[in-house]
Amino acid sequence: MSRTLKAIRQDAPRSDRNGPALAPRPAPQWVMGRDGSPYVHIYLFPRTLDELRSMSREFGDGAVAYVQWGAVTTWLMNQPHELDLRNPRQVALASVMIVRDYDRQRFGWPRHDGKEWNRPQIEFLSPDVRKEAELVAAETMEDWKKAGMPHLGRNAIRRAYLFLTTTPAFRTKCVPPMAEDATKETQ
């Protein structure tokens, strides 16, 4: 006897009815191909920060921080006109670089060569200077968001995801090893 998802959901206990397995999903978006045949368009790469966070699994917070700090740094370095910043550009850039390096280590962002990061510079600062650097970096991030988050687009998000998925840390933690039978067939 086959049952529909709707019938299973109605028979489930009230507390389980909207669980992830039984929650209704939106219908797929059908698109017409060049030859006129319908297909469902899928995206292999994240397009937003939320998608990047979820697709990057345990590296999600690090991936979002990596993309955001990269966009802030690019924004500070590549604007020919004077920016509307609360702090001088050089001070803001130095603070952003210090906090970016700290966030790499704090969120466990992997290196491409698989090695560990050097200790971040922020650990060598006095508590007062450290607090000031974090404050200036946070203010600069707010200024960047107020400016419309320039240099943060689908390409930047896609590049960060591609970088992440090629690191040894991501492959060992998130990609299951291939079965022996599969490796024999490909040789």
- Going from N- to C-terminal start, the domains of the chain cover 5-40, 49-174
- Reported as a pLDDT band with limits 50, 70 and 90, residue 11 is confident
Question: pLDDT of 115-131, one tens digit each?
Answer: 999 999 999 999 999 99
Question: pLDDT of 129-157, one tens digit each?
Answer: 999 999 999 999 999 999 999 999 999 99
DSSP H or E run through 31:
strand 30-32
Q: How does the average pLDDT of the chain come out, rounded?
A: 88
Please name the amino acid found at residue 65.
A
User: Which pLDDT score is estimated for 6?
Assistant: 76
**Token pair 């979820």 in the structure block, residue:** 54
pTM of the predicted model, to two decimals?
0.76
